Chain A
Amino acid sequence: MIQVVLKIEDLKKNYGKAEILKGISLEVKKGETKVIIGPSGTGKSTLLACVNRLVEPDHGRVLLEGEEITSRNAHKMRQKIGYVFQDFNLFNHLTALDNVRIGLIKVQKLSKEEATQIALEQLSKVGLSEKASLYPSQLSGGQKQRVAIARALAMRPKLMLFDEPTSALDPELIGEVLSVMIDLARSGMTMLVVTHELGFARTVADEIIFMENGLIVEQGPPALIFSNPQKDRTRQFLRKLTELYGEERIK
């Protein structure tokens, strides 16, 4: 049986009168990577934030491995959901090592030795062993984002959420982050990724989800979406993306 890791059912969110999410349903199965694309202001970030309750949805349910996430159990469920932000959000007063191990120590209550060992392992996986003792301000954007990924992975999450993890990066730094994410996807992590890096989507996505105005317009395997989208809006948006971002960065 294929296990469903994340199930989103008819999720709705309003800010005042503005309907941001108008009923989103989707599933991510174990080991799958799904990529969400869509114009700015469409509600992609809001959707991810609703999954781990950084934002409280107005309607609908989110289930992680069959267990509903509520505002009551949110802090427990968040431990199982890695979240990578567009602007990294590393803890500014902590070194890279402390950034990765603070969750292990404070949340999972591991001993300092154990936490350090896991944190160093994760840092080495993202290629930053040598940077363990540096503070965020001493790291490049790409390095910061890799530390942020290591911080999320250290908690041994069941699911990773990425919200445009490379869009705050200089072009020459995007590759190093994408390659970490590609390795992660290939290692069998379950991932839901908002990104406009179509090369990444083509390489590892099992499904592309095109969102617009709070709704899913179209979803399907990359080959289909890229070569033969069924909806005009999808086609137009993809054309605009290619113009905007130019050549794909991942072969």
Chain B
Amino acid sequence: MSFWQIILLSMPKLLSGLTVTLYMTVFAASVGLFFGIVLCLGRVYGNKFARLLSSGFIELIRGTPMLVQLFILYYGLPVYGIRLTPLVAALIGFSINSAAYQAEYLRGSIQSIGTGQMKAALSIGMKKWQAVRCIILPQALRRVIPAWTNEFIYLLKYTSMAYIIGAPEMMAQAKFIASRNFEFFKVYLLTAAVYLSIVWVLSFVFSHLEKRLRIPGMVVTER
């Protein structure tokens, strides 16, 4: 088959896979952002109990392979009567995973702000959590945008692992088309091209966001 035939043949399925991929990515990144903030604040500003719980959870997730986590959710939980569809298992798995990583990025960002900002906020009579909300987070979240961009791109690519538990994302579709037509090289090349172009678009969108939120003097250097 010619390349054009391959494109015509596989695009509809690849694109329907892509919507699932994008859905999983956006879902996991957003849920991960929310719980990442919670975990990070627990680890940095929480009491002993919250600190222990957050750090334990973060280390557990970061210390085990993504695939093992997915298998536990999809193949392990049914042992206890909890049956998840592949998509739900993947959504939960990626969200939890991303939360742990995002918590650590944010923690690094908070640490780079320095203690003076907190002291100054307390000195005008703010309570600790008020200072976190009004002074620390607005700065830390801005600084974490580059790391968050990377996280988003990682996620986009990592969601391809969900094909292993049978979630109908783009990689699963690619595998299906490729093996049915015996066109492994061309189909996977095409798939790679789709991933790449999405990564480009994302990078562009995030660098635009970063510029819009930029405040004079608050330059983000890491990337």
Contacts and interface: CB of A to CB of B under 8 A. Distances in A.
Chain B binding surface, main DSSP class: helix
B123 A52 contact: yes
Interface in B107-140: 116-117, 119-127, 130, 134-135, 138-139
A91 B215 contact: no
A107 to B, nearest CB: 4
B218 A151 contact: no
Interface string A83-94: 101010111110
Contacts of B134: 102, 106
B218 A90 contact: no
Contact of A75 (B116, B126, B218): B126
A235 to B, nearest CB: 35
A85 B119 contact: yes
A230 interface: no
A79 B124 CA distance: 5
Interface stretch (A131-139, A169-177, A214-222): A131-139
Contacts of B126: 75, 103, 106-107
A76 interface: yes
Contact of B120 (A81, A85, A135, A138): A85
A87 B116 contact: yes
A92 B120 CA distance: 11
A241 B17 CA distance: 74
Contact of A136 (B123, B142, B217): B217
Interface residues of B, number: 21
B216 A91 contact: no
A106 B216 CA distance: 24
A103 B126 CA distance: 7
B123 A107 contact: no
A81 B138 CA distance: 25
Contact of A93 (B122, B127, B215): B215
Contacts, number: 75
B139 A152 contact: no
Given A93-B215, A135-B215, A135-B216, A54 B119 contact: yes
Interface string A101-115: 011001110000000
Contact of A78 (B122, B139, B142, B218): B122
A205 interface: no
Nearest to B138: A93
B58 to A, nearest CB: 26
A75 B127 contact: yes
A155 interface: yes
A155 B218 contact: no
Interface of A: 52, 54, 75-76, 78-79, 81-83, 85, 87, 89-93, 102-103, 106-108, 135-138, 148, 151-152, 155
Given A75-B127, A78-B124, 13 more contacts: A52-B123, A75-B122, A78-B122, A89-B120, A92-B215, A93-B218, A102-B124, A103-B125, A106-B134, A107-B124, A135-B218, A151-B124, A152-B124
